[in-house]
């Protein structure tokens, strides 16, 4: 087996390795009870990755048969461009894989996917306390200067 990190589309058979990464991501951002979203949301999200009618995509980083990270992105329309826009919604790497280029490789593959789809840009959000990730983000993208407002309904 190769020690090279491979970035590829998620496969149905990846669920058992993808799920702990997904749960880790949700715990990091303290979504719901800080351990996991309701199973219905997780299973619906998972099914969307394999539905050709959905604008949602998932990639994973794999090394020697182990998943080290995930990235999910969504293509959508915008009022300022004819081309679609790519929203990188979720990015997470296993703690043991951090600082080894996995996050950068996942982002670069989203850029490639977005170019292939004719997207005009890729954008994402992170929490202001996510300083370690922002060190990478500052190298691979530019800050937009926008502040996010939201209201749960």
Is 153 contained in some domain? no
The pLDDT of residue 7 is above 90 = yes
pLDDT for the residue 88: 98
Please give the tally of structural domains in the chain: 1
- First-to-final CA distance of the chain: 48
User: What is the domain extent for residue 49?
Assistant: 6-140
pTM of the model: 0.92
| Domain CATH number, residue 13 | 3.40.630.30
* Other CB atoms within 10 A of residue 129 CB: 8
Is 151 contained in some domain? no
Report residue 24 as tokens: 């880790």
Dihedral of the alpha carbons of 135, 23, 55, 137, in degrees to the nearest 10: 0
pLDDT for the residue 8: 98
Question: 36-65 pLDDT, tens per residue?
Answer: 678 999 999 999 999 999 999 999 999 999
Is 124 contained in some domain? yes
Is 48 contained in some domain? yes
């Amino acid at each position: 087996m190769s020690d090279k990190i491979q970035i590829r589309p998620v496969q149905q058979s990846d669920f058992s390795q993808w799920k702990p990464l997904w749960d880790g991501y949700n715990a990091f951002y303290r979504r719901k009870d800080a351990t996991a979203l309701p199973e219905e949301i997780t299973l619906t999200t998972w099914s969307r990755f394999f539905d050709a009618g959905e604008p949602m995509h998932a990639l994973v980083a794999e090394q020697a048969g182990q998943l080290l990270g995930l990235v999910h992105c969504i293509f959508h329309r915008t009022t300022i461009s004819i081309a679609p826009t790519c929203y990188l919604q979720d990015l997470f790497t296993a703690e043991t894989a951090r600082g080894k280029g996995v996050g950068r490789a996942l982002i670069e593959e989203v850029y490639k996917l977005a170019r292939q789809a004719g997207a005009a840009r890729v954008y994402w959000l992170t929490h202001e306390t996510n300083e370690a990730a922002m060190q990478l983000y500052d190298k691979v993208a530019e800050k937009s200067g926008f502040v996010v407002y939201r209201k749960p309904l």
